[in-house]
Amino acid sequence: MILLDTHVWIWLLNGDAKLTERHVRAISDNKGSGLGVSVISCWEVAQLVSHKRMTFAVPVLKWVEAALTYPNLSLLPLTPEIAVESTQLPEEFHRDPADRFLVATARAHNCPILTDDARIIAYAGVRKA
């Protein structure tokens, strides 16, 4: 399984041109083992909409519900283990709570994360897809 960072999940579902060949290949290569999306990504999408940084043709909850039906996609919950891990990440990592939860989720599931976030890419404490 790979964990999709929030922006990659949005790009995938919206057919965004920002989805690169690398992303498409990683998603295709991992469909058999599964694609993971953190519940935190649902929260991030709702935040983007509430701050008017993103709009959809349908209410955000409907978009999220439809987005979670993507083939081979699993919603990964926020568990106590992940919550605690997000506060105890090894090495230096920035303070953005959503990114900390995403990295902790990837670590808890022992899977790489597919992202374009330079701070996550530079972080040695998580595998990248």
Residue-wise pLDDT tens digits, 87-126: 999 989 999 999 999 999 999 999 999 999 999 999 999 9
Confidence of residue 23 (pLDDT cuts 50, 70, 90): very high
Domains and CATH numbers, the chain: 2-122 (3.40.50.1010)
* C-beta neighbour count of 88 within 10 angstroms: 8
- DSSP three-state, residue 114: strand
What number is the average pLDDT over the span 23-38? Answer: 95
Q: Report how far residue 38's alpha carbon sits from residue 28's, in angstroms, rounded to the nearest whole number.
A: 19
How much is the average pLDDT of 50-71?
97
Indicate the pLDDT class of residue 63, thresholds 50, 70 and 90. Answer: very high
Mean per-residue pLDDT for 37-54?
98
